[in-house]
Structure 1
């Protein structure tokens, strides 16, 4: 099949632009899905980002209930293999133990995504249960960074990030329990928004009360796509435990206006962790750029108990993931995780957390409350907290110290090591505040690197406004206008090699 659009034309289109072509009948949803499938066929052997293409939905985009009149009008979309379920489709959660698992029903967010006109045509890679930093289990797949195949995509929204960065699709689903939207966005050169608690529903199997650190979202290449995605997929299902945020003005309209002069607090020394000199240099460049745009910028460390923050996040992960694993084992009538099917650190996390008491969880929740109050108080003075997205450079593929295939015997030491690189993102999950990674920086080795902005709860629109202001100032050229080594625009040259 010959591509309807050249790959250069395809790569220039964001989801909003492609939807406009579909509405003008220059491209059909089927043609768009077929072209995305061709991109997967050409690039996936290199980056290993997509687990499965739904061939039946490629040929018939209306098959599963996609709304062609939605804002995205049939734009192809990939779903992370974790989180929202798709009726009748496999969801294997990056785990050998879950191979062959099929969902019995659609999640509420799945229906919202389809109603927005996104054609869910495949699923993307994730580490086992989304616990670690990269989708690297050689028994399943090793997802690689399209900018340089020697490096990881990070995670846990690994395959979605790589697919968007490589130009296969303009938008893909992602989830974030401690940075899993923002971190891979940062190292793959995408935009990644972790929304406020009370934006996207986790129904029917979860809620913001039950899964307090987890958020849904997307990876995109433009701010307007992110704004439209939030506008058209947000909202609670019947029976939610808490109210959901609804802005007075749509984000699609809000981002057309620059924010007022913002008070921006810049920092990177958080508790025992700090960024490397090359990352600090990029943070300084971003801070100076924001100052030139008219904002008040000051280097000041947030008045937050970081020791308590990392302790709370560690305890939350141990308790939540051990409970998840216990529920899977119960459903499979197993007493313990089979060592040949579950990765070593996941087993250790289960062992550490399976006997946690209500009192221990209550202490964790008290820490969450304390941190949420102190962080909110800090935002009474500041509009934005600016940090790097990570404290250390992107790891090479096979850096097992951050993976759940690690042989580290200590769960707590393993998490301590995680926070040394992913130092700045988990506070948003603890406090339910929004955070965004924007692709404005670059490491000395040429890899893209994100800068990370936080705002108070419910102020997602302000982060998108700031992102849109930066995007306009850069004339739309995120990543300095560069493209990855593995990219749809290079398919023909790659095929000739």
Structure 2
């Protein structure tokens, strides 16, 4: 087994602190924002050569900001070092979307979600890696070194928020931006042993990419090492921009007393069986839930197998839109000849089935109602694995590999997360299991629209009952 790669140490101001803990130390005057940024960058420099999680290093501006910015003591994470995913515009950083086809031109201004993210008080040190346009479930590239899993660098870090997950799991920063169009918060959280919550559609500011979609699949969020960091982020984001379209959430600070009725889905929508380690992790999670007094009952998948075809066709439509309209989307310097083989393969797949588009869009839009109906009859949450099998090795999902083979592998691997994107429902991945190779396994919980509170309350309870494995142990 390859050694774990992390930067945790007791010799700097970050220690083992999560974002809430570090923010408290900064607010108390025990740590300055500059000291926190210096320590984080030193940690990044220790792990980045082996793991490749950084798309853009923006340390000079971040260090100046650490000293000069008027850090508000009322901000949830005032002065806490963090990173933004490199598909989200941050003024002064080129938004490359993981692809050399995009222009290397710095964004002139933040997009709206970036302002919401920064309003929590984080100090953005740079941008993190993602695979080309976030279209696959591993942060690997046809033209560059992959972003590697800190638990074992021979393995995938997941995607598309792979760089963010790696930095948080390796201890470089306690919290980082992620977004999710088919599992891209939850998949790397599962692969890297983190908490990854995809909020309800509309809970946070809509991404620029999602605005033009017939069905907006994308939700912004964060990856963290503790449930409370995720809860504090959502509460702070809600204070910045409350939404009247969903129930007010507020700050969730611990578990609830009420016992839940939790539906169990243990078979992927593809019909394939779970691998042995994932099945064991799911069974152990069910035992833990039962021991805590929750009622776990089998339930059917809210959608049928036809959902696979509808979602994958829409997925291919997004790649075709990038190939055909990239100059409008990313600027006139966009070069479609530099698209990676996987993106080109997806675009070609769309053209072969273009006639399916109206039906696919209608089916995905209708999935919201079918998802909502799954929570009738007293079901509070739905539990499943986050992924259908354990984290694969680097190369298994190679974007330069045979398209048909890689596409089939992706569909089999990512068979639980996409429904929440189409339907817009919230879901969280928690690191409750571990494979025989010592890699994290995520367990996935879904809730009805607007019910992030129940997800977080249960997450607090599970974290206390079965503390998440730590990479530094």
- The equivalent residue for 1:366 is 362
* Distance change (3 Å), C-alpha of 1:319 and 1:172: same
- The equivalent residue for 2:463 is 471
The alignment of Structure 1 onto Structure 2 pairs a total of residues equal to 462
RMSD: 2.6
25-34 or 366-375: which moved more? Answer: 366-375
- Cα distance in 2 for partners of 1:100, 1:64 equals 28
User: Which residue, out of 341, 350, 367, partners 2:347?
Assistant: 350
TM-superposed deviation, 1:256: 2.2
* Distance change (3 Å), C-alpha of 1:333 and 1:350: farther
The secondary structure found in structure 2 opposite 1:12 is coil
What are structure 1's unaligned runs of at least 5 residues? 486-497
- Cα distance in 2 for partners of 1:274, 1:373 equals 27
8 A contact 2:196–2:223 mirrored in 1: yes
TM-superposed deviation, 1:484: 5.1
- The equivalent residue for 2:448 is 456
- The equivalent residue for 2:84 is 79
TM-superposed deviation, 1:464: 0.8
- The equivalent residue for 2:401 is 406
Q: Deviations over 1:387-426 (max 9, x none)?
A: 1111111111122xx2322222x4xx65443121111111
The secondary structure found in structure 2 opposite 1:10 is coil
- 1:68-147 map, 5 Å: 68-69=72-73, 70-82=75-87, 84-98=88-102, 100-137=104-141, 139-147=143-151
- The equivalent residue for 2:42 is 38
8 A contact 1:79–1:123 mirrored in 2: yes
* Distance change (3 Å), C-alpha of 1:62 and 1:166: closer
1:422 equivalenced with 2:414 (yes/no): yes
Q: Deviations over 1:335-380 (max 9, x none)?
A: 9821xx21112112223436986x7443122212332222211111
The secondary structure found in structure 1 opposite 2:376 is coil
TM-superposed deviation, 1:147: 0.6
- The equivalent residue for 2:196 is 192
- Cα distance in 2 for partners of 1:206, 1:235 equals 22
1:376 equivalenced with 2:381 (yes/no): no
- The equivalent residue for 1:439 is 431
8 A contact 2:14–2:40 mirrored in 1: no
The secondary structure found in structure 1 opposite 2:445 is strand
- The equivalent residue for 1:266 is 264
8 A contact 2:176–2:223 mirrored in 1: yes
* Distance change (3 Å), C-alpha of 1:207 and 1:343: same
What are structure 2's unaligned runs of at least 5 residues? 1-6
- The equivalent residue for 1:293 is 292
8 A contact 1:441–1:449 mirrored in 2: yes
- Cα distance in 2 for partners of 1:363, 1:81 equals 32
TM-superposed deviation, 1:208: 8.5
Q: Deviations over 1:142-198 (max 9, x none)?
A: 111111111110111111111000000000011111111101101111000011111
1:324 equivalenced with 2:316 (yes/no): no
1:232 equivalenced with 2:236 (yes/no): yes
8 A contact 1:94–1:140 mirrored in 2: no
- Cα distance in 2 for partners of 1:360, 1:218 equals 34
- The equivalent residue for 1:312 is 310
The secondary structure found in structure 1 opposite 2:14 is helix
Scaled by the length of structure 2, the TM-score of the pair is: 0.90
- The equivalent residue for 1:278 is 277
* Distance change (3 Å), C-alpha of 1:444 and 1:95: same
- The equivalent residue for 1:483 is 471
The secondary structure found in structure 1 opposite 2:211 is coil
8 A contact 1:14–1:170 mirrored in 2: yes
* Distance change (3 Å), C-alpha of 1:426 and 1:100: same
- The equivalent residue for 2:388 is 391
